[in-house]
Amino acid sequence: MKILFVGDASNMHNCLAQALRDLGHSAVVASNGSHWMNTHRDIDLKRGPGKLGAVKYVLDLLRALPQMRDFDVVETCGHIFLDLKPKKVRWVFDWLKSYNRSIVLGALGTDYFYYTACHDGKTYRYSDYMVGDKPSPYSLSEEYQAKHEDNWKLDFMREHSEHVLNNVDGAISCLWEYQACYEPLVGDKIVYGGIPIDTRNVEPTILDKEPEKVKFFIGIQRDRNILKGTDLLLEAARRTVDRYPNKCELKVVESVPYEEYIGLQRASHVLLDQLYSYTPATNALLAMARGLVAVSGAEPEYYDLIGEQENRPIINVSPIVEGDIDAKLEWIVCNKHLLPGLSRCSRQFVEKHNDSQVVAKRHIDFYNRILEQK
């Protein structure tokens, strides 16, 4: 099978493409390298700054289009899969649909439908934008206003998203959140794929005995700090260390090279990841593959979706339960003898549910189903 991925997010499509190649398929990635991550791509579609960068980007795209035809499946990275305004993205979308056998929406990231679901008061109990019936800290922040996030609700965004959704052959989600958003809209045209992790190239350091002190680890991304609730996790972690200085410590990392980040993470026991998520995402899954215990999103809806009733090693924290973060971190410190077991279970969990070849096979099954209907 010949597969083209257009756009990437957190190396997801690049990782998936490699797994597909290992399974005997042909896979090509055309992307901007996930912006600052600069991940591998076969067709470089990175946009430079200013007007000159915009002109060069369009020319690069036009030169690349002949290489982006005659595929069995094209999978996009969300609705805005290029660094262009929706009107121009729509033109490329229609071109890709015309010159390839099928086109699939990768349901990931923010779009009109996800933004709407976050605000409808029934799809989620909480999200990046709402906590219960109140705006989240992110929605009230200067960061939100600066990024014009509310543009998602405008008519031109709705029209673009509806055009894409009405014309794809199917959609595949990477998180429970997107599955819950899209199922009411497209029914069985969407399946859950998950986030791929190349576990064969992630060497685990499984905790083999109870540590003297629990080593908490948190990575700060300034532009996503409030969005992901890292600020609240950090405050709670500092309170926990103040209460139990002889039983735990905290490593805070901000803006360091990736290899250094990984080295510092590997020397830790517990990763503090996200607050407003129902599902562990790439950062948490990579840490779990290394044998760390993740404090992140892992609601019952997610476990039910993947059919996991026994191995539930993620420490789920809720933004709607007062004092929940502090209580969960205190539980970890007071039950640190359980960390070796949770470390082993974390690695096993990722191998079972998110290994890149496991995720790739889900995609292949879905692609085959779509192609059979052509």
Identify the pLDDT of residue 143.
84
Question: Given CA atoms 360, 362, 365, 368 in this order, what sign does their dihedral have?
Answer: negative
**Could you identify the residue written with the tokens 């257009």?**
6
**Could you identify the residue written with the tokens 């500092």?**
238
Is 273 in a helix, a strand, or coil?
coil
pLDDT digits (tens, 9 = 90+) for 51-85: 999 999 999 999 999 999 999 999 999 999 999 99
User: Tell me, which fold does domain 2-196+356-372 have in CATH?
Assistant: Rossmann fold (3.40.50)
Q: Token digits for 304?
A: 């039910």
Identify the pLDDT of residue 279.
97
Distance CA 178, CA 167 (A): 18
**Could you identify the residue written with the tokens 């859950």?**
192
Chain-centroid distance, C-alpha 146: 22
Distance CA 22, CA 108 (A): 24
> Which positions ≥6 away from 56 have C-beta within 8 Å?
48
Identify the pLDDT of residue 257.
72
Do domains 2-196+356-372 and 200-353 share one topology? The answer is yes
Distance CA 104, CA 77 (A): 9
Identify the pLDDT of residue 53.
94
Instruction: Confirm if 93 and 164 have CB atoms less than 8 A apart.
Output: yes
Is 192 in a helix, a strand, or coil?
strand
User: Tell me, which fold does domain 200-353 have in CATH?
Assistant: Rossmann fold (3.40.50)
How large is the angle between the packed helices 176-186 and 112-119, nearest 10 degrees?
Answer: 100
Which residues in the chain land under pLDDT 50?
none
Identify the pLDDT of residue 260.
83
C-alpha closest to that of 234 among 348, 339, 331, 317: 317
Domain boundaries, the chain: 2-196+356-372, 200-353
Name the DSSP class of 307: T
Q: Token digits for 170?
A: 């199917």
How large is the angle between the packed helices 282-289 and 339-353, nearest 10 degrees?
Answer: 120
